[in-house]
């Protein structure tokens, strides 16, 4: 069983569209994250969600919105996609704040054309 799974793995879409990326973890973790990896491989936190507490990176445009229907899922919805949104997006989860490692999904490569 995959611990953290993301769908889709690849997503190609036109500017202006709205899209969602789904993430599910079967590890029973309390905390989930979304990271964006840019073309230089840098991974930057976008959101952290822990027991209904949402922490937002203030540099993330409000076109991006996380949605968590339950503890095992943290989906990422993106409105009005722009060329600069093209990147690889990683979902992750961890058990205890700061003490244990985060487990990562395989990533979603988003290409906006």
Partner 1 sequence: AQSVTQLDSHVSVSEGTPVLLRCNYSSSYSPSLFWYVQHPNKGLQLLLKYTSAATLVKGINGFEAEFKKSETSFHLTKPSAHMSDAAEYFCVVSASGGSYIPTFGRGTSLIVHP
Contact positions vs partner 1 (CB under 8 A): 31, 33, 35, 40-45, 48, 55, 90, 92, 94, 96-107
Q: In whole angstroms, what is the distance from residue 61 CA to residue 56 CA?
A: 10
**Which residue, 57 or 65, has its beta carbon nearer to partner 1?**
57
CB of 21 to partner 1, least distance (A): 14
Cβ at position 38, least distance to partner 1 in Å: 10
Label residue 21 exposed, middle or buried (CB < 10 Å: 0-12, 13-18, 19+). buried
CB of 109 to partner 1, least distance (A): 8
Whose Cβ is closer to partner 1: residue 44's or residue 63's? 44
Closest to partner 1 by CB, 11 vs 92, is 92
Q: Smallest distance from the beta carbon of 20 to partner 1, in angstroms?
A: 20
Nearer Cβ to partner 1 (48/75):
48
DSSP labels for 28-92?
A: --SEEEEEEE-TT--EEEEEEEETTEEEE-TTS-TTEEEEEEETTEEEEEE-S--GGG-EEEEEE
Closest CA to 48 of 27, 34, 63: 34
């Amino acid at each position: 069983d995959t611990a953290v799974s993301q769908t889709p793995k690849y997503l190609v879409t036109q500017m202006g569209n709205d899209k969602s990326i789904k993430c599910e973890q079967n590890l029973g973790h309390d905390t989930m994250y979304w990271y964006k990896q840019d073309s230089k491989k840098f991974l930057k936190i976008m959101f952290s969600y822990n027991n209904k507490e949402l922490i937002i990176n203030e540099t993330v445009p409000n076109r991006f919105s996380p949605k968590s229907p339950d503890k095992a899922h943290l989906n990422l919805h993106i409105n009005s996609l722009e060329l600069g949104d093209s990147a690889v997006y990683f979902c992750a989860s961890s058990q205890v704040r700061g003490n244990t490692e985060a487990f990562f999904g395989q990533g979603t490569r988003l290409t906006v054309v």
